[in-house]
Structure 1
Amino acid sequence: MTRGSRTTRGFRRSQVSRAAGLFTGSLLAGVLLLGTAGSALADESPTPSAGASDDSDGAEAPTEAGTSFRTATAFRPDQRATADASTGDYLYWVLPVDAGQRATVTAKVSLPESAAARKGAATWQVDVYDGLRRRQPCVHGAQTRALAADAREVELRCTLRTVRAWAEPWSDDPLPGSYYVRLTVVNAQEEDLGLPVRTEIEASVADEGGAAAVDGRLAVPLTPGRTTVSQSDSDNDSGDSSGAGSSDGARLAASGVEPEDGWSSGRWTDRWLWTVAGGVLGALAGIAGYTLARPARR
């Protein structure tokens, strides 16, 4: 074997070793970058405060419901809102849902002992509307259920589609803002109307992350304005019987309903971090491949 061939082979071996070291360093750098990004996202996530824990326990949750969209009672996710009403009332609540979140609304209707002697079954239904008062379909759960004549409790559930930060004007995609929850009986015997019931409403939101992120955002979330309306106006607005709202002569409509950490529509998402990390790893892999494929200099 000549001296030149040994030199060439040794040069190639050193080149391969250097490329392997470069590729290993690229992988370590990518892992470190992803770990740093993940820890940064974890640090940015809101930590529950003492007030938030009280809200989740229901200590500060509302104990009444509105009778129309304009008088809807505001509550936050993970709160359990309650209201005493009568069979046939239209009950309204409102909560904030941000971009990238998927909300699940759970409603529970309970009848007291005095309402056990009902004439027949009753069908209850929960509907969810967005800030434009468009009824949003439920992708999971039973939003309509019948309460048998001998039953005293029924539970409803509605899981919405993931809220988008922006959508085409012609689409019905859910947008960030206020979401109204309406609970009522849709089929009951006339003799059973007016019987007392106790209702519970709870909502949970799951963050879908960067997979649900889209380009573009709303300039302003779809939230209601602050207006004072009388009880008679609220009855005319909904066309429903009253009896589940406040006993005051006037009510203040829900206003300023927003997440505790503010609206995040249009902010940076983890999709950008993964894109940058993938670009860096791709560039380093290209450099390593070029180093391996580069012909030896003679």
Structure 2
Amino acid sequence: MRTLRTAAASAAALTGLLLLAPAPASAASPSASPSPSASASGSAKPVLNSVGTSFLTATTLAAGQDADVPVSTGDYLYWAFPASEGQTPTVQVTVTLPEAADRHGPQTWSVELFDGLRRRQSCTAGPQDGTAEQSAPSLGLSCTLRQIRSWAEPWSGDPLPGTYYVRLSTPDIPQTDLGLAATVHVHVATKGGADDAQPEGGTLKDPLVPPVNAGATAAGPAATPAPSASASHAAAPVAEESHWYSDLFSGWNTRWWWTVAGGVLAALAGVLGYTLTRHPRGHRHHPQRSAPVPPQAGPAPHQHPQRSDNWQ
């Protein structure tokens, strides 16, 4: 009897130890949800709280990343994001304006996109500029860029793969509102990819300029007909007529003949021009000299000039 009680107590103690032991990882509850970092889609991109004030200090944003920044009204704000071939980026901006009691009139905000060469790109959709009244709490702006291309014409400003810059500014604002505190939320979204890299409005079926092969026809090779009896007795091609001067102006010495002929013509033109513009030396006309003036005879000796009696 005592032996049975001892065995029962030992079994109860062993069962309690098994119940208190931690469960293995494989026996975890199936209802437990995985952490966001372990999800198949990956963790969300962190929200940035910085902004640049020039192209060189622009804060870089990834596709699908947001930025919440407290800013000062009137400053130029810059962000940068990469764009690859076939993508169509869209930038969305939400401005939380200062308190209505602190403002003194409507405010105009503008969002602009620039490529890596600092060229301003046009927006295809979205309100790029917006004016908020004094009582408005916020203002929304957006800009959709054209599809990024892998080529561009020299005369065009097509968007090419690379870095693009977002500039947010206040082109029209009361002077007394400069420096007021505001909050800006920026979101960069892209659609498309390398598989969608095609010309806008359609797909290029054939090359614009067909390849040129010397000696080949544009049509496919056709079956060559068998020569007939009449074709074998066709007249031979007429030989090209030649003259005594044909060999002089053909072959390697052609340029020498033209060079010599050009030099002779230039010399003749120079001589003719000199002859027409200068008088011959043997036929120059000299001015006629006037005859010398003969000496005049003086008054006769012992002869006084007659005096006039009219003087008093």
* TM-score normalised over the length of structure 1: 0.52
- Offset of residue 211 of structure 1: 5.1
Which of 61, 74, 86 is the equivalent residue of 1:88?
Answer: 74
The count of corresponding residues between Structure 1 and Structure 2 is 166
Shift in alpha-carbon separation, 1:112–1:52, aligned structure 2, 3 A? farther
Which of 69, 90, 94 is the equivalent residue of 1:104?
Answer: 90
Unaligned runs of 5+ in 2: 1-37, 207-312
- Offset of residue 53 of structure 1: 3.2
1:165, 1:213 within 8 Å by CA — same for their partners in 2?
no
Rounded Cα–Cα distance in structure 1 between residues aligned with 2:154 and 2:39: 38
| Secondary structure of 1:85's aligned partner | strand
Rounded Cα–Cα distance in structure 1 between residues aligned with 2:75 and 2:195: 40
1:152 aligns with 2:155: no
Unaligned runs of 5+ in 1: 1-47, 215-270, 276-298
Rounded Cα–Cα distance in structure 1 between residues aligned with 2:159 and 2:177: 36
1:161, 1:174 within 8 Å by CA — same for their partners in 2?
yes
Q: Could you say which residue in structure 1 is the equivalent of 2:297? A: none
Which of 172, 175, 198 is the equivalent residue of 1:187?
Answer: 172
By relative contact order (CA 8 Å, sep 6+), the higher-ranking structure is 1
Rounded Cα–Cα distance in structure 1 between residues aligned with 2:54 and 2:91: 18
| Secondary structure of 1:191's aligned partner | helix
- Which has a greater percent of helix? 1
Q: In structure 1, what residue type is equivalent to 2:171? A: V
2:53, 2:76 within 8 Å by CA — same for their partners in 1?
yes
Q: In structure 1, what residue type is equivalent to 2:44? A: D
1:116, 1:152 within 8 Å by CA — same for their partners in 2?
no
Q: Could you say which residue in structure 2 is the equivalent of 1:64? A: 50
Q: Could you say which residue in structure 2 is the equivalent of 1:21? A: none
1:163 aligns with 2:148: yes
Rounded Cα–Cα distance in structure 1 between residues aligned with 2:133 and 2:150: 41
- Offset of residue 203 of structure 1: 1.0
Which of 44, 47, 65 is the equivalent residue of 1:54?
Answer: 44
Rounded Cα–Cα distance in structure 1 between residues aligned with 2:183 and 2:41: 26
Rg bigger for which structure? 2
Which of 188, 204, 209 is the equivalent residue of 2:189?
Answer: 204
Q: Could you say which residue in structure 2 is the equivalent of 1:132? A: 117
* Cα deviation digits, residues 31-50 of structure 1 (max 9, x gap): xxxxxxxxxxxxxxxxx977
| Secondary structure of 2:118's aligned partner | coil
Rounded Cα–Cα distance in structure 1 between residues aligned with 2:41 and 2:114: 28
1:102, 1:160 within 8 Å by CA — same for their partners in 2?
yes
Q: In structure 2, what residue type is equivalent to 1:62? A: L
* Cα deviation digits, residues 198-227 of structure 1 (max 9, x gap): 00110110106645336xxxxxxxxxxxxx
Shift in alpha-carbon separation, 1:51–1:182, aligned structure 2, 3 A? farther
Which of 104, 123, 136 is the equivalent residue of 2:108?
Answer: 123
Shift in alpha-carbon separation, 1:207–1:49, aligned structure 2, 3 A? farther
- Offset of residue 117 of structure 1: 2.8
Rounded Cα–Cα distance in structure 1 between residues aligned with 2:62 and 2:193: 19
User: Could you tell me the percent identity over the aligned residues?
Assistant: 45
- Offset of residue 116 of structure 1: 3.6
Rounded Cα–Cα distance in structure 2 between residues aligned with 1:116 and 1:85: 18
Q: In structure 2, what residue type is equivalent to 1:139? A: T
Q: In structure 2, what residue type is equivalent to 1:87? A: T
* TM-score normalised over the length of structure 2: 0.49
Q: Could you say which residue in structure 1 is the equivalent of 2:244? A: none
Shift in alpha-carbon separation, 1:50–1:83, aligned structure 2, 3 A? farther
- Offset of residue 168 of structure 1: 2.0
CA RMSD of aligned residues (A): 2.5
Q: In structure 1, what residue type is equivalent to 2:90? A: T
Q: Which runs of at least 4 in structure 1 moved beyond 4 Å after TM superposition? A: 48-52, 208-211
| Secondary structure of 1:53's aligned partner | coil
